[in-house]
Amino acid sequence: AQKVTQAQTEISVVEKEDVTLDCVYETRDTTYYLFWYKQPPSGELVFLIRRNSFDEQNEISGRYSWNFQKSTSSFNFTITASQVVDSAVYFCALSEARAGGSYIPTFGRGTSLIVHP
Amino acid sequence: EAQVTQNPRYLITVTGKKLTVTCSQNMNHEYMSWYRQDPGLGLRQIYYSMNVEVTDKGDVPEGYKVSRKEKRNFPLILESPSPNQTSLYFCASSTRGTTNEKLFFGSGTQLSVL
């Protein structure tokens, strides 16, 4: 079973629409971290946000906001008033401690967001 | 400028011809890793390294080798590439490889094995 599920493969919106990208995760750890990364058409992945499992406070950064709910194991990402520059593939990732102290972050399959002018 | 540098950006090769994709970071990071990205599968980790001379398998290590002789470099080696290794590859690094750290990614290497 997937540890990180991004059920939306592709979302297409028109500029200025709001859009929410879903992320559902699965873990038995009580301490873990969740991340969102953006992969624009240029290809390089860029870090957007990190949230630890003990901090359920929602976060807003400009047009971006994140809703973390442990009760539903979700960490959703909303873009308000989308712009063409938001077109990218967005990845949600889960980071858990593993035996030996090392970790391998698990990525979802990504959601491709296309914003039309 | 802090960065992870991968080379080459694009590579076309033939089955069985050994190749190396280089990765270098200038942030003095202890942790480095390699991922492959395939359509519909997201990013999957191939190998990672917690420090010099310390490497370990990720989720999809078959057909790949790595080495970490210097802190800054973490090359990915395909001894005998096959068409199923056609993929987009990313190198990534972080300070110590702990669960709370974000990853810094290279620009990617698009590999085609004919």
Q: Model confidence over A49-84: pLDDT tens digits? A: 999 898 888 888 899 999 999 999 999 999 999 999
CB distance B41–A109 less than 8 Å? yes
Of B42, B45, B92, the CB nearest to A109: B42
A20 with A11: CB under 8 angstroms?
A: no
Residues of B in contact with A32 (CB under 8 A): 99
Look at residues A94, A89, A93 and name the one whose alpha carbon lies nearest to residue A111.
A89
pLDDT of residue B27: 96
- Give the total residue count for chain A: 117
pLDDT of residue A100: 57
Pull the structure tokens for residue A64. 């971006």
CB distance B43–A91 less than 8 Å? yes
Is residue A30 within 8 angstroms of chain B, CB to CB?
no
Residues of A in contact with B35 (CB under 8 A): 107
Higher pLDDT, A100 or A89: A89
Q: Is the pLDDT of residue A101 over 80?
A: no
CB distance A47–B45 less than 8 Å? no
pLDDT of residue A59: 86
A16 with B81: CB under 8 angstroms?
A: no
Give DSSP secondary structure letters for A53-89: TT----EEETTEEEEEEGGGTEEEEEESS--GGG-EE
Is residue B88 within 8 angstroms of chain A, CB to CB?
yes
CB distance B99–A47 less than 8 Å? no
Element counts in chain B: helices (H) and strands (E): 0, 11
Distances (CA, A) of B43 to A8, A76, A93, B59, B87: 16, 19, 10, 10, 11
- State how beta strands A111-116 and A10-14 pair: parallel
pLDDT of residue A103: 67
A111 alpha carbon, distance to own chain's centre: 9
DSSP B107: -
Which residue ranges in chain B fall short of pLDDT 70? none
B92 with B107: CB under 8 angstroms?
A: no
